[in-house]
C-alpha cells in the first residue's frame, strides 16, 4: 500500500520519520489517513530495522487539527446520521494510536502549531512529546456540541485530571500554551521550529541506538502498568525484566557501554 496522506522517511540509524502531509487542511485526518496508519503501524511493528518513530506535521501552522470534518460532511456513508453527518460511529484511535496497534517501539511526537481534538489520538499515546513555542493544544468538541470523551480520556493518563477537564470544557474558548503543556507534563521540551524535527530525530536516534529488546520491554512495561492498580503494576513489573532482556547476555557488553554526556534542558 502506497502512502498518500503521509510522507515516510527511513534513516540508516533505525529511525522512521512520519509526516502528516495534508497542510492544506491543517493536517487533519480522513478515512484514507486512518487506513494508512493501520498499514504504517503494521510495518513498524513487524520490521526489526525500525527501532524508533518520529511523528510530525507538514508546515508550521498545525501538527494536526483533528478529523477532516469537510470530508465527513460530504460522506455518502448511509450509517451516518443526516442530522449529525460527521458524528463518530467508531473510535478512530483504533487505527491511529501506536499503542492500540500493539506498537511497543518508542514514538516521539514533534508538535508544530495547532494540536487539536483528534490529534490527541497520537499525542496522548506517544512516549515523548516535544513542541515549538508557538504550539497550542485544545479540544473543540464541546463547542461544536459533541461530547469530549475519547481524546480526553486518553489524555487523563498523561496530564492532571483538572487540566484535562479544563481543556475539554472550554473547547475553542481557550488554548493551552506550550509552556502550560510542559508544566502539565504533556510536553517534555520546547524547541524553536527550525530545530524541532532535528531535535526529535536526535532523541529518536539515541534511543534507537540502545538495545532494542530493552527499549521495547521498557515501553511495554510502563504503558501496560497504566491498565492496572499500583500494587498490580509493581507485582508484575519483574516479569518484563525476565522476558527478552538482553542485559547479561552477549548482546550487551556492559564494559563497553559509555553513556553520552547528559543533556541539560
172 has pLDDT over 80: yes
- Report percent pLDDT > 70 for the chain: 84
Taking the domains of the chain in order of start, what are their residue ranges?
A: 6-208, 212-247
Instruction: List the beta bridge partners of residue 115.
Output: 64, 137
Band of pLDDT at residue 241, cut at 50, 70 and 90: confident
Give the Cβ contact number of residue 27 at 10 Å: 29
Residue 257: per-residue pLDDT: 62
Mark 106-119 as b/e (b = at least 16 C-beta within 10 Å): bbbbbbbbbbbbbb
pLDDT per residue over 50-62, tens digit each? 999 999 999 999 9
**Range 79-86 average pLDDT:** 49
**pLDDT-derived band at 168, boundaries 50, 70, 90:** very high
Q: Which of 53-67, 69-83, 96-110, 222-236 has the lowest mean pLDDT?
A: 69-83
pLDDT score of 78: 45
Asked whether the predicted pLDDT for residue 138 surpasses 80, the reply is yes
- Across 154-178, average pLDDT: 97
The CATH architecture of the domain made up of 6-208 is Alpha-Beta Complex (3.90)
Alpha-carbon gap, residue 213 to 9, rounded angstroms:
23
Q: Average the pLDDT over 158-172 and give the result.
A: 97
Amino acid at each position: 500500500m502506497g502512502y498518500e496522506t503521509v510522507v515516510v522517511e527511513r534513516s540508516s540509524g533505525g529511525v522512521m520519520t512520519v509526516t502528516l502531509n495534508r497542510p492544506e487542511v491543517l493536517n487533519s485526518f480522513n478515512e484514507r489517513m486512518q487506513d494508512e496508519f493501520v498499514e504504517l503501524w503494521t510495518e513498524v511493528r513487524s520490521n526489526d530495522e525500525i527501532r524508533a518513530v518520529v511523528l510530525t506535521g507538514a508546515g508550521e501552522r498545525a501538527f494536526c487539527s483533528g478529523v477532516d470534518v469537510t470530508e465527513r460532511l460530504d460522506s455518502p456513508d448511509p450509517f451516518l446520521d443526516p442530522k449529525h453527518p460527521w458524528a463518530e460511529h467508531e473510535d478512530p484511535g483504533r487505527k491511529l494510536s501506536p499503542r492500540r496497534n500493539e506498537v511497543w517501539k518508542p514514538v516521539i511526537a514533534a508538535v508544530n502549531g495547532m494540536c487539536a481534538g483528534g490529534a490527541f489520538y497520537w499525542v496522548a499515546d506517544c512516549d515523548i512529546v516535544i513542541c515549538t513555542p508557538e504550539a497550542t493544544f485544545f479540544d473543540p468538541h464541546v463547542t461544536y456540541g459533541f461530547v469530549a470523551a475519547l481524546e480526553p480520556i486518553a489524555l487523563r493518563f498523561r496530564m492532571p485530571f483538572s487540566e484535562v477537564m479544563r481543556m475539554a470544557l472550554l473547547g475553542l474558548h481557550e488554548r493551552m500554551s506550550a509552556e502550560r503543556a510542559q508544566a502539565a507534563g504533556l510536553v517534555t521540551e520546547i524547541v524553536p521550529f527550525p530545530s524541532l524535527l532535528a531535535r526529535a530525530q536526535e532523541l529518536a536516534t539515541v534511543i534507537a541506538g540502545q538495545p532494542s529488546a530493552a527499549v521495547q520491554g521498557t515501553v511495554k512495561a510502563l504503558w501496560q502498568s497504566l491498565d492496572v492498580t499500583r500494587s498490580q503494576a509493581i507485582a508484575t513489573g519483574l516479569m518484563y525484566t525476565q522476558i527478552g532482556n538482553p542485559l547479561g547476555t552477549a548482546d550487551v557488553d556492559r564494559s563497553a557501554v559509555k553513556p553520552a554526556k547528559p543533556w541539560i534542558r
